[in-house]
Amino acid sequence: MKLIARGALALLAALALATGTAVARQKVERPPLSTADLLRMKLVAAAVISPDGTTLAYTVSVPRDPLGGKDGPSWSELWVVGADDRPRPYIAGEVNVSGVQFTPNGKFLAFLAKRAGDKQRSLHLLPVDGGEAIKAFEHDTDLGSVSFHPTLNRIAFLATPTDKKKKEAVEKGFSQEVYEEDWVAAKIYVADLDIAGIKATEVPAAGHPSDLRWLPDGKRLLVALAPNPGVDASYMRRRLHVLEADTGAVVTAVDHQGKLGMSTLAPGGRLIAFIGARDQHDPQQGRLMVANAVGGFTKELLPEFAGHFVSCAFLDDETLLYLADKGCETVIGQVKVDGTENAPVPTSPGFTVTSMAVATNTRRAALIASTPFHSQELYSLGEDGSAKRLTELNPWLAGRKLCAQEVVRWKARDGLEIEGLLLWPLGRKPGEDGPRVPLVVIVHGGPESHYRNSWCTRYSEPAQVLAGRGYAVLLPNYRASTGRGVEFSMANHKDPAGKEFDDLVDGVDFLIAKGLVDGAKVGVTGGSYGGYASAWCATRHSARFAAAVMGFGVANLLSMSGTSDIPEEHYLVHHRIHPWEDWQLFLERSPIFHAPQSKTPLLILAGKTDPRVPPGQSIEMYRYLEQAGHKAVRLIQYPGEGHGNARAASRLDYHLRLLQWFDHYLKGPGGAPPPMELDYASS
């Protein structure tokens, strides 16, 4: 008995030691990124820099708690970093701050907000060196863009007037809408800030204005004008104009075709620099342009650049600093306004930049950048090109074990090289041998977009969360993506769902050949054009995909062409033909055409008020599959949501259903769809 007792005690001691070691190991083992983590992540949304380059101001996007408090989109806080590089909250909490800028003298921060006592979104001024914010100006309706006169005593602004007669009629029940005719365009106004009681004066302009700013002479305005307030017109027919501020007379109409991005003025006011399209068929504004502010030339700088420019700023009257995408990376460089002396600016490696604001004549800049291991944070760029990280909005990320991410490249079946990002399953290093794992392909929208080698995880594209659950995750930059020049982005014209989506299948085969992926357990998801890709893979390539989640996606090119709010964009930069020119092409490149052969379990998620990809697209996809006897299709609609979910609760639901669908069909029992009900609290 004593020997047995002694043996039992020894065994218990050994078990205790082993358990203690396991407990200790568990204490130091970092968990992967979870759903709760993802939906509480903060990020820097916008940043500006003072004229002297010493102070940076930025807005922080703060998600709401989907399980507590009032549902809605994220809050937007105002923070400031001074010469000591310490972030300080200036306007924080349950607030929505936008339009942040420094006044020309750098002494005040201006922002738009609807604060206590405000009836509309108004202009507020906050002393940079401390003090309370004061309301500087309000209008009858919400203020849009605001620009300060060089003397500081006047502003120009945009606002959309209220149609009082229409409002009264609606109150009586006459709420009819005259489709695409009863739009109300925004107006340009100027107003004095130092004279109480003076009303704003309208500046006549033909069209719907956006992005206005004063020229340095204080007599003229640079403004972008579209023919009407429609999204299609904003995408395809918005043009830069220089107007007389007093009369609205056109001084210069910038000669330009196609899509228009940001614009900026030289310090002396002689030149305009902007990001535009090469022509009306270029899918994405991504070329660096300069134009004369008083008429004359428009010139494309660096036309041979095999990437896409994102933004630019004048360092002086003769030199531009630019930010550009090149492949999965970003580039900062400077070039003379005549296109000579192009040179990269050496910066700290290891991050990609999404936004840049420059202090003219100082060569200092505020950057918004991220890495594969943190979301958008604020960096400063010194005059010597050195970059410094200034914020850490999610310090708890250091306690999470994130999955390895790398840029991968494969040959498409026609020999074209395609690249993308690969996230390895938790605990696996790039190239490390191990068992084959399930794969989820996440397809970006657009298609004029691309994945940067940065933080690529969000509620609808949960790359790190999926990799943390044991999946490999591929984010392909298929042909028609941006970042590789105009020709590459036009490679799908007249060929929707053709070679561009073959690139996705070829990427899957590449990972199967590497020995990483189980070819019988491949899923696909994406939103918008990525939703179109997901529906296509679930129907036309059903034999290759074991599960699919279609977000806000296209199912029928024929009905899409007649119901979307961007028909001109579809024609000019995507299809290049009208449906009646080739009915058969539009029919055969529609996922519903291939619905009868589909066996892939498909989850469809859609905003019920989406004008871009109308909800009928999702209903058609569901109905065709259901009528064809498909055993695993489910449609989820989100009331009040448009082209993508904005509210915290809708985002949580979308995210959890996506995870549930893939877990059920790629790792679980499969068969009939999983339960409709979700346990939100356990996320």
138-189 pLDDT, tens digit per residue, is 999 999 999 999 998 999 999 999 988 888 999 999 999 999 998 999 999 9
Q: Which helix (H) or strand (E) holds 217?
A: none
Question: What mean pLDDT do residues 407-419 have?
Answer: 98
pLDDT digits (tens, 9 = 90+) for 417-472: 999 999 999 999 999 999 999 999 999 999 999 999 999 999 999 999 999 999 99
Residue 28 pLDDT level (bands cut at 50, 70, 90) = low
Note whether residue 89 is domain-resident: no
The reply to whether 526 falls in a domain is yes
Distances in Å between the alpha carbon of 38 and those of 131, 368, 678?
Answer: 35, 19, 18
| Residue 40 lies inside a defined structural domain of this protein | no
Share of the chain above pLDDT 70, in %: 95
Q: Among all chains, which residue has been given the structure tokens 């609760």?
A: 649
Judge whether 75 lies within some domain.
no
Classify the C-alpha dihedral 658-664-666-667 as positive or negative: positive
Quick one: pLDDT at residue 23? 37
Helix 499-513 × helix 529-539 angle, to 10°:
70
pLDDT score for 26: 44
Query: Rounded to an integer, what distance in angstroms lies between the CA atom of residue 50 and that of residue 53?
Result: 5
In a domain, residue 98? The reply is no
Which domain, by its residues, includes 416? 405-682
The reply to whether 298 falls in a domain is: no
Q: Quickly state the pLDDT bin for 348 (edges 50, 70, 90).
A: low
Is 131 inside any structural domain?
no
Classify residue 664 by its DSSP letter: I
The enclosing H or E element of 534 equals helix 529-539
CATH number at residue 441: 3.40.50.1820
Q: For residue 311, what are the contacts with CB-CB under 8 A and spacing of at least 6?
A: 261, 262, 275, 322, 323, 355, 356
The model's pTM is 0.93
In this predicted structure, the answer to whether residue 10 has a pLDDT above a threshold of 60 is: no
Q: Provide the pLDDT for residue 196.
A: 64
Is the pLDDT assigned to residue 24 strictly greater than 80? no
% residues pLDDT > 90 (the chain): 88
- Taking only the tens place, the pLDDT of each residue in 546-583 is 999 999 999 999 999 999 999 999 999 999 999 999 99
| Tokens encoding 156 | 């120009």
What's residue 130's pLDDT? 82
CA distance 506 to 630: 26
CB of 525 within 8 A of CB of 486?
no
List 239's β-bridge partners, or say none.
Answer: 225
In a domain, 484, yes or no: yes
Does the pLDDT at position 496 exceed 60? yes
- Residue 202's DSSP bridge partners are 189
- According to DSSP, the β-strands at 517-527 and 437-443 are parallel
Task: Find the helix or strand (DSSP H, E) in which 560 lies.
Answer: helix 557-563
Domain count, the chain: 1
**Tens-place pLDDT, residues 93-147:** 999 999 999 999 999 999 999 998 899 999 999 999 888 899 999 999 999 999 9
Give me the chain's average pLDDT, please.
93
Whether residue 6 has pLDDT greater than 60: no
Q: What is the pLDDT of residues 573-620, one digit of tens each?
A: 999 999 999 999 999 999 999 999 999 999 999 999 999 999 999 999
pLDDT in tens, 321-333: 999 999 999 999 9
Q: How confident is the model at residue 16 (pLDDT cuts 50, 70, 90)?
A: very low
